[in-house]
Structure 1
Amino acid sequence: MGGNAFSTLDTPRLSHEQWELLRVRCIKILLEFYEQVVCPPEAPEKVDHGDVDLLVEAPKHPIEPDTLQNALGAVSRTKVGVTMSFAVPLPETQESFAQIDVHICGEGNLQWELWMASYGDLVQILGHQNRGIGLTMNDKGLNVRVPEVEITNRKQAMILLTKEPIKVMQFLGLDAEHWQRGFATLEDLFFWCSAGRFYNKPKSSDAAPEQTTNDRARLKKRPMFANYFYEWIPAHPEAWQNDERVQRDVVLQEAIKSFGVRTQYEAIMTTWRQEVNANDALISIKESLPITGSALGLVLKGIKRWVTFKDGQPQMRPLGEPEEDITKLPDWLPRITSEELGQLNEWLQKNWPELKSREKHRSEARRELGQGVAGSMATLSLLPTDQL
């Protein structure tokens, strides 16, 4: 969505009157094909438009792109992902065109995608304010991030809370009825964005966003986003619920309680604790061994492949048993206790040479097997075809 899909056609910016006429006409046409068709409300005070954005969900019957193109009266179309763009002639002339973007939403996703696309940069502004308190809005919904886990695995740290916009606004302490009514001015919208119960007054007059790559891109490409942080915030220090930043743990616990996700939280924390325990155990094991370099690497592989626990005691797996997958941690390592780790380190002082030897012999055997297979294939390639 953005108005640049047809480089060979003249697609001038649309006046608000042109945009409104096209919006109404296209919604009426698309309702013949889809159960739901909506147009995200534009930012207030916008005087012209690059295109007409429409969201659709639930086709009434199978739809061919040619059928949609003909129904809209478009002379050309293109597609990127799930968004189709159509070049529709402007009523005043057949030489200029309006870009109509039709974004196809997955089942049950239209309201969330409408929220994400409404009122210009509104969600971008909220997203920046949510970042510091551990909240993230993405294509799946509103998520809370578990801080301990986020340090090493941001994706694993996410707990999905909801994809219902009303519930998001209620949780953030934002006026949902006001959002549904719309905003008359940017000033009105900016006050609304700053009114959330978790948001705090900036520490200084310089309220610009943190300079991440995404922030820099937004500041260059999104004047509404830049206006809010560079101009409006410094001029309105009174427009905040809190003088100090609300702690992330407060927001996390509120989210867990409000959305009933304690089970998911506990599961993530259990996995994280086990990973930390396993990493700490591996560090202890490395430090306890009197070897370094390639020898240490062989022994660590051997521990994963050949060591098991029985009745709390480390043991060597019999050679005839199926091998463990050493690309994964052994089952016992994430749950190893400090007592068991001490016993393992003591056991390794006597048994690390055997682990090294097993791994070395295994590696040599596999190498010889590979060479043997390669040699057999080379021999076969030299035989006459009637002997194959």
Structure 2
Amino acid sequence: MGGHAFKSHAGITFPRMQPPTYLALKQHCVSRLRKLYLHVVVPPEAPEKATYGDLDLIVAIPLDGPESGVNVRDSVGAALGAELSFSENAHLGNFALALSTIAVDADSADSGDDGGHGDSFGLGEGVYAQVDVRQCELDELGMALLMSSYGDMGMIMSLLFRLHGLHLGTKGLKLKTPQGTLPLSTDAQAILAFLGLSPEPYTGEDHVFRTRASAFDWIATSPFFRPQRFRAKIEQCLKRYKRLANREMFQAFINYLDEGIEADFWGSGKSELNGDGEDVDKDKDKERTINKALDFFEARAAYEALVGSSGLPLGTKWMEVLRPNEQDLH
């Protein structure tokens, strides 16, 4: 179900949307937001989704200029024809649109003229869809898309980095140390290159993931993929963030790991455990990866300036006790 931002409003419902409803809503919102912003993007949806709970959009560069005073809650809400809105700040807005007002006819939606033209969904009063709009700077757009595309794939990539002592979020890739946080990169393409992953799924409709398995197989091609360690990290996260167990794609990834480990799908080349089932190389693996990251992103001098003469070697136990913020999972 969508509508989580409006759960306190009685008498309205947010049913999951069938693909035709979702497509018409997307066309309606994109066409109207293009009158306000130069860049309007809908992140690729999670593969194999049969229904949709809400619609997410990312926008950048107001057409009237950065000083135009475009406010997501006010200007965007009016452009979309939202009846209800909620916003934690001026750059992020949640909107409730009555589905009975959204035209199914694609031409009508593209023109932005829904006033009586095209067929409506014929839904009764009080049936809405939630639309979430995030406004970002142009140089933030790549990271926003990387972290919000394909359902839970951004979160899965974040966990992959955390296996190696690094932290990925909407603000980029970072290394956290006792002396402070060292930014490594905000370039989504460079981050994928470091992971050894093809950028094609994020470059156009011709290369999008059509199935969950194709997305999971893609991330498993990374030389930093460690299936057993990945599974153990997920188990830790499930204990701390119980809501993750209800995320369909995340649960599918857990099943993917379990089945692959059971079948020895990745072979000894991807195994981290010795003959006694012990992961004896975890800290050395972290140290190697962090060293590679410092060189790849040309951040070694900045790292040495940050840590000074602390004497803490890379990959030591302090990385284990630095607990990430929950927002790092998004």
Q: TM-score range by the shorter chain?
A: 0.7 to 0.9
> Secondary structure at 2:158's aligned position in 1?
helix
Asked whether the equivalents of residues 227 and 271 of structure 2 are also in contact (C-alpha less than 8 Å), the reply is: yes
Q: State whether residues 200 and 243 of structure 1, in contact with CA within 8 Å, keep that contact through their aligned partners in structure 2.
A: yes
Instruction: Report the more deviating stretch, 45-54 or 55-64.
Output: 55-64
Distance 1:140 1:2, change over 3 A: farther
**Residues 78-97 of structure 1 aligned to structure 2 (within 5 Å):** 78-81=86-89, 82-90=91-99, 91-92=120-121, 93=123, 95=125, 96-97=127-128
Assess if the C-alpha contact under 8 Å between 2:54 and 2:130 holds in 1: yes
- Equivalent position of 1:369 in the other structure: none
Deviation (angstroms), 1:158: 3.1
Q: What is the alpha-carbon distance in structure 1 between the residues aligned to residue 98 and residue 137 of structure 2?
A: 29
Match of 2:192 in 1: 169
Cα distance in 1 for partners of 2:298, 2:40 equals: 32
- Normalised by the length of structure 1, the TM-score is 0.62
CA contact (8 A) 2:160 2:224 kept: no
Seen in structure 2, the aligned counterparts of structure 1 residues 114 and 203 have a Cα distance that, compared at 3 Å, is closer
Which digits, 9 at most, give the CA deviation of each residue in 1:270-297, with x for residues without a partner? 15349xxxxxxxxxxxxxxxxxxxxxxx
Q: Which whole-Å CA distance do the structure 2 matches of 1:225 and 1:104 have between them? A: 26
Three-state SS of the structure 2 residue aligned to 1:14 is coil
Match of 1:76 in 2: 84
Distance 2:224 2:19 in 1: 36
Paired residue for 2:165? Answer: 134
Q: What amino acid maps onto 1:185 in structure 2?
A: T
Within 2, Cα distance between the matches of 1:201 and 1:234? 9
| 8 Å contact kept, 1:75–1:89 | yes
Q: Show CA shifts across 1:212-254 (max 9, x none).
A: 477543532323212212x211211324763236711211111
TM-score (norm 2): 0.72
CA contact (8 A) 1:3 1:51 kept: yes
Give me the whole-angstrom Cα distance separating, in 2, the residues matched to 1:168 and 1:183.
Answer: 19
Structure 1: which 5+ runs fail to align?
275-388
Cross-structure match for 2:105: none
- Check conservation: 1:218, 1:225, Cα contact below 8 A: no
Which one has more relative contact order, counting CA pairs under 8 Å at least 6 apart? 2
The CA distance in 1 between the partners of 2:229 and 2:143, in whole Å, is: 32
| Deviation readout 1:85-119 (Å, 9 max, x if unpaired) | 22212132351111111111135212211111111
Asked if 1:234 is matched to 2:254, the reply is no
Alignment of 1:94-133 (within 5 A): 95=125, 96-133=127-164
Residue 28 of structure 1, CA deviation: 1.3
Question: Kindly tell me: are residues 224 and 70 of structure 1, through their superposed partners in 2, closer, same or farther at Cα, counting changes over 3 Å?
Answer: same
Residue 223 of structure 2 is matched in structure 1 by 197
Going from structure 1 to structure 2, the CA distance change for 1:56 and 1:178 (only over 3 Å counts) comes to: closer
Quote the Cα distance in structure 2 between the aligned partners of 1:214 and 1:167.
Answer: 32
Alignment match, 1:351: none
Pick from 291, 302, 313 the counterpart of residue 253 of structure 1: 291
Partner of 1:378: none
In structure 2, what is the equivalent of residue 225 of structure 1? 250
What per-residue deviation string (whole Å, max 9, x for no partner) do you get for residues 30-57 of structure 1?
Answer: 0110111111111100111111111111
Alpha-carbon distance in 2 for matches of 1:136, 1:175: 20
Q: 4+ runs of 1 displaced by more than 6 Å?
A: none
Cα distance between partner residues in 1 of 2:294 and 2:217: 28
State yes or no: 1:41 paired with 2:28: no
More helix by share: 1
Distance in 1 (alpha carbons) for counterparts of 2:229 and 2:95:
47
What number of residue pairs does the alignment pair up?
264
- 1:260 Cα offset (Å): 0.7
Give 3-state SS (helix, strand or coil) of 1:36's partner: strand
CA change 1:266–1:26 in 2 (3 A) is same
Which amino acid counterpart does residue 183 of structure 1 have in structure 2? Answer: F
Q: Which of 20, 25, 28 is 1:25 aligned to?
A: 28
Question: Is contact 2:2-2:15 (8 Å) kept?
Answer: no
Equivalent AA in structure 1 for residue 92 of structure 2? T
Distance in 1 separating the partners of 2:27 and 2:6: 22
Matched, 1:183 2:245: no
Which protein is bigger by CA-based radius of gyration? 1
* 2:183 matched residue in structure 1: 160
1:267 aligns with 2:291: no
Q: Contact between 1:191 and 1:239, CA under 8 Å: does it hold in 2?
A: no
Structure 1 pair 232–214 and aligned structure 2 pair: CA distance change class (3 A): same
